Structure 1
Amino acid sequence: MGRLYLLRHARAAWAEPGTRDFDRPLTEAGRLESEAVGAFMASRDYQPEIVVCSSAQRAIETWQGLAGRLGRRQNEAILSQQLYSTDATGYLSIVREKGDAGSILIIGHNPMIEDLTIALCCGRDAEPPPVLAGGFPTAGLAVLSFATPLSAAAPGAAQLDDFLNSTPA
């Protein structure tokens, strides 16, 4: 009944001296990763109704890279400072708050994206799915489905339908 897309931002540059972590831009490889995610989503007809994106520079640039591939406007994402500063429980609160939508794309950060993916599809104490054994890579996309509306999303209630690891091995 509900579909949740959890995307970790693409590869970002290391912070330069005097630059805040929040302001780190994508690298050229990161820009290519974000476009690859957009192409993947378009090829599978993954079209979220709502996009909630961290307001950190690297997350915004990730959205900008994939928006065009999805035929979306760059300014339609809801920017959220909370996605930069909260934990997986905070991410889940955002999903539930926006849960009247049938599908939501969250563009955020690790470890929150990975923690939320594992909690939703495996429960609180379960082992991560094999696809996440090596961690949640930059520009990694988890596609989760729920039998309930997203407003009722809960640990263990999702099925991991798809996973994209766009980072080269």
Structure 2
Amino acid sequence: MKTLALFRHAKSDWSDARARDFDRPLNERGQRGAIAMGRHIRNGRWRFDRIIASPAVRVAETIETASRAWGRAFPVEWDRRIYLASSATLIDLLREMDGDPESVLMVGHNPGLEDLIFDLVPDDGSSPLREIVERKFPTATFAVLELAIDRWEDLDLGCARLVELTRPRDLDATLGPELPD
């Protein structure tokens, strides 16, 4: 059994229309979301043998901010292939994992992370959490999948069970979608 946690970067800043997508930082709500999620992960039962992440600025800032909330810094393996990757690319990256860690935290982007959940968790009606992901996988969302594999190279479609899904608004209603006046 392997564990794969997925953490989508927090809300990014779109105020500079000239900035490259890769270089967009977090906005204020994103900072608050990363802090809330960092505290949530710290207080949970999850521990990670390896953290791999997209090197995009908004991902790096999400990790930095969440790590401060965890109360410690973690070594991160930056992998450019995660930046805006498809599910197929993410699966290939996980299959190539060196050292065969028991638990991995991947920090990245949509639609790749969301699609990875769809590819790994069977669509058989048995997962109410998957149904929530089908509606939306918002920024700063944290998901944990238990994989019915012994080695990462055995990762295959439909081999996972989604055991946790936490959105920022689940922790703080002000971090959810803006409501009409």
1:136 and 2:137 correspond: yes
Partner of 2:173: none
Q: Secondary structure at the match of 2:142?
A: strand
Following TM superposition, by how much is the alpha carbon of 1:130 offset from its aligned partner in structure 2, in angstroms?
A: 1.7
Query: For residues 54 and 150 of structure 1, what CA distance do their matches in structure 2 show?
Result: 23
Query: For residues 18 and 121 of structure 1, what CA distance do their matches in structure 2 show?
Result: 38
Structure with larger Rg: 2
Q: Secondary structure at the match of 1:19?
A: coil
Query: For residues 135 and 145 of structure 1, what CA distance do their matches in structure 2 show?
Result: 21
Following TM superposition, by how much is the alpha carbon of 1:39 offset from its aligned partner in structure 2, in angstroms?
A: 1.0
Query: For residues 45 and 59 of structure 2, what CA distance do their matches in structure 1 show?
Result: 22
What stretches of structure 1 move > 4 A for 4+ residues in a row? none
Q: Secondary structure at the match of 1:133?
A: helix
Partner of 1:158: 160
Query: For residues 48 and 142 of structure 2, what CA distance do their matches in structure 1 show?
Result: 13
Among all aligned residue pairs of Structure 1 and Structure 2, give the percentage whose two residues are the same amino acid. Answer: 30
Query: For residues 120 and 58 of structure 1, what CA distance do their matches in structure 2 show?
Result: 25
List per-residue Cα deviations over 1:90-136 (Å, max 9, x = no partner): 1111222226000001111100000001110126xxx9822213211
Contact 1:24–1:58 under 8 Å retained in 2: yes
Following TM superposition, by how much is the alpha carbon of 1:11 offset from its aligned partner in structure 2, in angstroms?
A: 0.3
Following TM superposition, by how much is the alpha carbon of 1:85 offset from its aligned partner in structure 2, in angstroms?
A: 4.1
Query: For residues 22 and 57 of structure 1, what CA distance do their matches in structure 2 show?
Result: 6
Partner of 2:8: 8
Following TM superposition, by how much is the alpha carbon of 1:65 offset from its aligned partner in structure 2, in angstroms?
A: 1.4
Contact 2:42–2:70 under 8 Å retained in 1: yes
Query: For residues 64 and 110 of structure 1, what CA distance do their matches in structure 2 show?
Result: 19
Amino acid at match of 1:49: D
Q: What's the TM-score once normalised by structure 1's chain length? A: 0.90
Query: For residues 39 and 17 of structure 1, what CA distance do their matches in structure 2 show?
Result: 32
Contact 2:84–2:109 under 8 Å retained in 1: no
Distance 1:68 1:98, change over 3 A: farther
Uncovered stretches (5+) of structure 2, i.e. residues with no partner: 170-175
Query: For residues 11 and 55 of structure 1, what CA distance do their matches in structure 2 show?
Result: 16
Amino acid at match of 2:16: E
Q: Secondary structure at the match of 1:51?
A: strand
Contact 2:84–2:111 under 8 Å retained in 1: no
